[in-house]
Amino acid sequence: MPGSFFQATARGGPPARGKDPTMSKKISIAFPQGGIVPGSVLGKKEDQTCAAMEPVSVPEAYGRHLIEDRFAVEVTDAGKTKKKAEAGSGKGGKTGDPNPPQDSPEIAAAKASIDEAEQLVAASGTDAAAKAEAEAMLKAAQDKLAQLQA
């Protein structure tokens, strides 16, 4: 029996009638780096190419999928994006600030001396005396940086 209930169920159920309810509700998203939305998702013949942060209206399920996978961000009615709170805060965490506060010249100098000392440690190779001297310089530079940041 080609049209039996069993065969229809084995294929994933009877064919849908009318519009798919998951496709009726829309959400506005934007791709931070630009992106392409398949035409089949939008109900068009051709894919839609989006510039970076260009809002595009897509079915909610598809938009939520892209947001959860961090390919896109949700756009509010005012055209501003909604971002989830960044993981981590305070020291060592990402703040998401594109222009973080600049270090004082003393702190920048201490960080530079740490970098130099680390390079000396790496370059000392098997020379135990040179390595010990470079490690002492590194320790002193790290201590100075800690003192300045306190």
Q: Two tokens at 85?
A: 């709170």
- Torsion angle in degrees (nearest 10) through CA of 141, 146, 149, 150: -150
Cβ atoms 35, 43 nearer than 8 A: no
pLDDT of residue 131: 80
Torsions phi, psi for 23 (to 5 deg): -95, -5
pLDDT of residue 88: 38
Q: Two tokens at 49?
A: 């190419």
User: Residue 21: which of 59, 74, 63 has the closest Cα?
Assistant: 59
Instruction: pLDDT tens for the chain, 150 residues: list them.
Output: 455 555 555 555 555 555 554 456 899 999 988 899 999 988 899 999 998 888 999 999 999 999 999 889 988 765 555 554 333 344 444 455 555 566 677 777 778 778 777 777 777 777 888 788 878 888 888 888 888 877
Q: Kindly state the DSSP code that residue 4 receives in the 8-state scheme.
A: -
Condensed to tens digits (0 to 9), the pLDDT of residues 5-31 reads 555 555 555 555 555 544 568 999 999
| Torsion sign (Cα): 61, 62, 63, 65 | positive
Q: Is the pTM of this model over 0.75?
A: no
